[in-house]
Amino acid sequence: MTVLSHCFSIAEGDGGMTRIKRVLSFPVIFSILILLEIGCEAQGPKKGKEVGMGEIREPAVSGMFYPDHPATLLSEIKKYLENVRKEPVEGEIVALISPHAGYMYSGQVAAYGYKLIEGQPFDSVVVVAPSHRVDFKGASIYERGGYRTPLGIVPVDVELSKKMMAKWNGLRFIPEAHREEHSLEVQIPFLQVVLKTFKLVPIVMEPYWSWESSQALASAISETVKGKRVLLVASTDLSHFHGYEEAVRLDQIVLKHLERFDPEGLSQDLKKGRCEACGGGPVVTVLLAARALGANRGKVLKYLNSGDVTGDRSRVVGYTSAVLFRAKGGETKMKGEKKIGVDLGLSDQEKKILHQIAKTVIENKVRGKPVPEFKVDSPALKENRGAFVSIHKRGQLRGCIGYIEGHGPLYKTIEEMAEAAAFRDPRFSPVTEKELPELDIEISVLTPLKKITDINEIEVGKHGIYIKKGWFSGLLLPQVATEYGWDRQTFLEHTCQKAGLPPSAWKDKDTEIYIFSADIF
């Protein structure tokens, strides 16, 4: 295992010892760093045995990130909670996003999320946190015994943990990942105070995460906990060590993605450096898992940075608390909804042919076999139409590419776009043969574009949007707005972002807005 260079995180965030450097001499700092480095590599967790318990993970940062005396710790957390007015949430809470710096910096922010779940009957809590000290691939789950804090031991939900491990081979137990990691540990005392009794599923995620690993872990979590009373928690701080104004600018990008329940957009902006979050992988993972569990709304509860706490605005760390929830009436609405898009008159047999073409192309290409020449007699399948092919894996997007307008016979377009979606979508790695049994193919056959000047013509659930301004353009299919529960304005804002434009660009006079519909099957 490789020890990362940004592992010493006692005060403001995860990147260093900024505050401590101001009060300690260099020899003292050097001694502390040496001791911490030795501890990271050699000490390991103390092992304890309790009645009915297995191996216990001992606290690593009590006395540094939070008080190590039980009464003091309890009093401090209760004070944070008392300072918070409980935010109304119109729906069922599925997940929280919570910061993980020292309590003196981010404890009050964390309280905004934990206040919402006081006394709620969650049987287990899945905490997904980033690794700051150890580099590895995939994710590590502590599937034994329990986690100890000064407030006592929280037992691990061994049954749930082992079931998750069986769902994804990238999820395994890596002792070093948990040994000194603070980002997961600091969440537990808050949970002990607000929930009293619960079981824990502790997951530490690879530091250099990928979209694919977030998808795989999200699927493992959601498939395992579905139907159970389980809370998800993503542990993250936001931007690190920028000036105050720049930090706020960067952090607002993350907050907007949380409010819009947009894991895809957040993942892209994090990877392109448009914003920062040391727990970006856990946040994207929890967004995806929460969506699979029925959550369709996000709400930012509190944001501030270390400059707001200390008054020093020169190099700050950002913190936020947010909730993901299933809006009331959402499921009932979906059940009674009419078909998304429109019916273009394609028969079931014609739709089956297009599906078979897409499936054959993907399977043959991934196995290195030639693609056969498809013989199609149907006039409808020879029409010149735009179309998209979308690939999903375990309910999560795995690729989507298409033509906005016709570029030849429909069946040939499906053949080309199936290959492109599987192997050339720049957001994803190429599909592999072992994934084939888990893939679902969705085809969207488009109607012609219609330019509009009145946004009231946009019908969510029927129309997709194409936005063009100068060299920038972007498109979102009709099903996207319905899937995320967006209203018309949110749909427009996301289409602008897809085009690389500011969210409000749809209001600009030189922005062209087009609508279209699709037969989706």
Pairing of strands 139-141, 171-172: parallel
Q: What is the pLDDT of residues 148-173, one digit of tens each?
A: 999 999 999 999 999 999 999 999 99
Rounded distance, CA 517 to CA 391, Å? 19
CA angle, 124 then 189 then 123, to 5°: 15
CA distance 384 to 160: 51
Give the chain's length: 521
pTM here is 0.65
Q: What is the pLDDT of residues 480-490, one digit of tens each?
A: 888 777 888 98
Give the model confidence (pLDDT) of 208-246 as tens digits.
988 889 989 999 999 999 989 999 999 999 999 999 999
Distance CA 112, CA 114 (A): 6
- The secondary element (H helix, E strand) that includes residue 109 is helix 103-116
Across 346-355, average pLDDT: 90
- CB 219: neighbour CB atoms within 10 A? 22
32-59: pLDDT as tens digits: 332 333 233 323 334 444 434 458 999 9
* Confidence bin at 73 (pLDDT 50/70/90): very high
- Express each pLDDT in 273-291 by its tens digit: 999 999 999 999 999 999 9
Token representation of residue 291 = 């969506």
Instruction: Name 378's Cβ contacts closer than 8 Å, sequence gap at least 6.
Output: 350, 353
Least reliable range by pLDDT among 18-22, 278-282, 301-305: 18-22
The dihedral of CA 400, 403, 404, 406: what is its sign? Answer: negative
C-beta separation of 132 from 14 below 8 A = yes
Cβ-contact 168, 217 below 8 angstroms: yes
318 pairs with which residues across the strands? 305
Residue labelled with tokens 């994207």: 284
All structural domains of the chain, each given as residue ranges with its CATH number in brackets, are: 2-332 (3.40.830.10), 348-520 (3.30.1490.150)
Mean pLDDT of 133-152: 95
Q: What angle separates helix 244-259 from helix 280-292, to the nearest 10 degrees?
A: 20
Residue 449 structure tokens: 């574009």
Q: Are 325 and 399 in contact (CB under 8 A)?
A: no
In contact, 201 and 160? CB cutoff 8 Å: yes
DSSP 260-300: TT-HHHHHHHHHTTSS--TTHHHHHHHHHHHHHTT--EEEE
Alpha-carbon distance of 358 to 41, in angstroms, equals: 51
The answer to whether 155 and 56 have CB atoms below 8 angstroms apart is no
Q: What percentage of the chain carries pLDDT values higher than 70?
A: 87
**What is the average pLDDT value for the chain, to the nearest integer?**
85
| 308 touches 314 (CB < 8 A) | no
Residue 128 pairs in a beta bridge with 203, 234
Q: Residue 103 in 3-state DSSP? A: helix
Cα-flanking dihedrals φ and ψ of residue 281, to 5°? -60, -50
